[in-house]
Amino acid sequence: MMMKADVLSGFESLQVCTGYQYKGERIDHLPYSIDESHIKPLYDNVKGWKKDLTGLTESGDLPPALNEYIAFIEKEVEVPIKVVSVGPDRTQTIFR
């Protein structure tokens, strides 16, 4: 899986939707038939980072908060993130 991290820089925290409250129950998927009055997204807050990532070339240079965010996403989706984009150019790619 690939993650585009440069657009997330500069936020104090990031809200990540991890489930939904639907008709009084927590569910982990978006229901097929949605009645908007019965569904509410549930968020976890993750610490953000302010470092400019565009010049980074090594995974060891990523800010600790970004590594924590990547670990959080990997845990939630149960898929390892192997590539992190730190800018729009194809050379601005970090392989983990």
Only one residue has tokens 């959080």, namely: 72
What was the pLDDT predicted at 1? 67
- What is the value of pTM for the model shown? 0.83
What was the pLDDT predicted at 74? 96
Of 3-12, 68-77, 80-89, give the lowest mean pLDDT range: 3-12
What was the pLDDT predicted at 35? 78
Q: Residue 2: which pLDDT band, with cuts at 50, 70 and 90?
A: low
Residues 6+ apart with CB under 8 A from 45: 13, 14, 15, 16
* Average confidence (pLDDT) over 63-84: 95
Enter the tokens of residue 41.
């997204």
Specify the pairing of strand 25-27 against strand 39-47.
unpaired
What was the pLDDT predicted at 24? 87
* Average confidence (pLDDT) over 35-50: 91
